[in-house]
Structure 1
Amino acid sequence: MYESMFSKGLIDLKNKSASPNELFDSVASVAHEKGYASQDYEKGLEDRESKFPTGLIFPSLTLALPHVDPEFIVKPFIYVVRTDTALAWKQMGDMKPMSTRNFLFLGIKEPSKQVGLLAQIMAAFKEQSFVDSFLRTVDTNKMYSLLTDQFTKISMN
């Protein structure tokens, strides 16, 4: 099931990172320590994001979906991070500058499932009621419930 991609231990709604590199370090440390990502995951994030930015602008929020090549992933995950301050980012596709506090780090082992996962995420963040709930949620358990309720259709293993 898709919700197995989420873990309460991979939800950080009060991240103190002040730059993308700090954020990558923070996320990579936890993902590696918990057995989700390889030791080189941080470098993989930095390299991929510099070549293929992942920022998206929706009507009511900005979001980034950083991800890496499958060799950096030990087991599939989605790591949800909200930073205390907005970080400078680049938009997917055109590389125009933007900023965001909302991140879904996608740990994908099966590249063939990436398109389906991205489609699900795009659809969810186009639903205003989901976006409102996502932005309002500050509790880890409630965020976990919101996301697992929303995303139940795709198997990522």
Structure 2
Amino acid sequence: MHESMFSKGLIDLSNQSTSSRQLFDSVASVAHKKGYARKDYGKGLMDREVKFPTGLMFPSLTIALPHVDPEFVLKPFIYVVKTNAPIKWKQMGDMKPMSTSNFLFLGIKEPSKQVGLLAQIMSAFKDQEFVNEFLKTTDPGNMYRLLSDQFTKISAS
């Protein structure tokens, strides 16, 4: 994964949203204003999440990886969001209810890269040291460095 997928402007570690719709609207508005996504990106997120939920439960954190079909994405990005309160979500695969405050919005242009990216993210969140850092990081600059280091390391190995 290239460092270019992360951007300091797409890290929000104190998002006020209390529902998936609010969160999608908030993320879509910023991603669109900054030129990463189409105006209807939020609707694309809602539609896809209903059919293919993206919640994951790891031993020491829950996270969701919302993504859309590539036509909604103008340039590749990963938008990192932590909400102040957990939001009800559904698990990937079995659609069981869960909740999480941790989100990585994956803006992928090349569908062929999606599987590899998901695999890298899964592997990172199985690394307890990385998870501990991710959970305690509250500063966007530090989060940017943590993620850039982690994912440069993974793609290099």
TM-score range, shorter-chain basis? Answer: over 0.9
Alignment pair present for 1:73 and 2:90 = no
Structure 1 spans left out of the alignment, 5+ residues: none
Matches of 2:122 and 2:81, distance apart in 1: 17
Matches of 2:82 and 2:144, distance apart in 1: 13
Normalised by the length of structure 2, the TM-score is 0.97
Question: Structure 2 matches for 1:54-133, cutoff 5 A?
Answer: 54-133=54-133
The CA RMSD over aligned residues, in Å, is 1.1
**Percent pairwise identity:** 75
Structure 2 spans left out of the alignment, 5+ residues: none
Alignment pair present for 1:145 and 2:145 = yes
Alignment pair present for 1:29 and 2:29 = yes
Matches of 1:42 and 1:13, distance apart in 2: 19
Flag as ranges the 4+ runs of structure 1 deviating above 6 A.
none
Summarize deviations over 1:72-105 as a string: whole Å, max 9, x none.
0000000000000000000000000000000000
Summarize deviations over 1:29-55 as a string: whole Å, max 9, x none.
000000000011000000000000000
Matches of 2:119 and 2:18, distance apart in 1: 29
Normalised by the length of structure 1, the TM-score is 0.97
Q: How far did residue 2 of structure 1 move? A: 1.3
Q: Number of paired residues?
A: 155
